[in-house]
C-alpha cells in the first residue's frame, strides 16, 4: 500500500481510531502511536552485480507506559502532513517498524474499517534473490536427467 492510499483511507475516516494488526492476526497495543515517519532509501548491489535503488515510507510504532493516548486517523494524517517534505512522494510503499522482541519491518498490506477503528493489516517481509537468472544454476537439459526425445515412428 502506498502513502497516497493510506492518506485516502485516513481522509475518508478521520474520526476512526487506528489499530495495527500483525500478520498472525494479533493486534498491537491500542496505545501504540506512530513515533516516526521516515523516507528510507536503499542503494545496493545484488548478487548478480546489478545496482538497485529502493525507496519507501516507514512508520515506526512505539509502545510506552502511557496508555491514555490513542492514535486516531486525523492525528496520523497530521503526522503524514508534517512528513511531506521528507517523503517527497506519495507513491512510496509503506511499511511499519515495530518491536516484537526484536525490531522488524512489515509492509502495510491493507486497511479495514472495523467498527470505530481503521485496522492496518501488516504482512511478513520476505527476502529474495533479485538476480536468480544469473545466480541460480541453469536447469539440466532433459537428456541429462534420464529423459530422451521420442524417436519418430515410420
Averaged over successive runs of 10 residues, the pLDDT of the chain (154 residues) comes to: 98 95 86 88 93 96 75 94 96 93 92 95 91 76 60 60
In which domain, by residue range, is 36 found? Answer: 3-145
Whether residue 24 lies inside any domain: the answer is yes
Report pTM: 0.81
Whether residue 40 lies inside any domain: the answer is yes
Whether residue 150 lies inside any domain: the answer is no
Tell me what pLDDT residue 143 has. 59
Structure-derived torsion over alpha carbons of residues 124, 58, 48, 45, reported in degrees to the nearest 10: -150
How many structural domains is the chain composed of?
A: 1
Tell me what pLDDT residue 141 has. 66
Whether residue 151 lies inside any domain: the answer is no
Q: Which of 91, 93, 115, 92 is nearest to 27 (CA)?
A: 115
Tell me what pLDDT residue 31 has. 72
Tell me what pLDDT residue 82 has. 96
Whether residue 154 lies inside any domain: the answer is no
CA 126, 127, 130, 135 torsion-angle sign: negative
Tell me what pLDDT residue 146 has. 62
What is the C-alpha to C-alpha distance for residues 40 and 92, in angstroms, rounded to an integer?
Answer: 10
Q: At what angle do helices 73-82 and 3-12 cross, to 10 degrees?
A: 140
Amino acid at each position: 500500500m502506498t502513502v497516497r492510499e493510506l492518506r485516502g483511507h485516513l481522509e475518508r475516516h478521520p474520526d476512526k481510531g487506528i489499530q495495527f494488526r500483525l500478520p498472525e492476526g494479533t493486534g498491537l497495543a491500542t496505545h501504540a502511536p506512530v513515533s516516526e515517519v521516515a523516507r528510507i532509501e536503499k542503494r545496493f548491489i545484488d548478487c548478480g552485480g546489478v545496482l538497485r535503488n529502493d525507496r519507501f515510507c516507514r512508520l515506526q510504532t512505539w509502545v510506552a507506559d502511557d496508555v491514555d493516548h490513542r492514535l486516531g486517523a486525523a492525528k496520523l494524517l497530521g503526522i503524514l502532513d508534517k512528513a511531506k517534505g521528507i517523503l517527497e512522494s506519495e507513491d512510496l510503499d509503506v511499511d511499519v517498524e515495530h518491536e516484537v522482541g526484536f525490531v522488524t519491518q512489515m509492509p502495510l498490506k491493507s486497511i479495514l474499517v472495523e467498527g470505530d477503528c481503521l485496522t492496518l493489516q501488516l504482512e511478513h517481509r520476505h527476502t529474495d534473490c533479485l538476480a536468480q537468472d544469473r545466480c541460480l544454476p541453469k536447469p539440466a537439459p532433459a537428456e541429462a536427467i534420464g529423459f530422451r526425445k521420442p524417436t519418430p515412428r515410420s
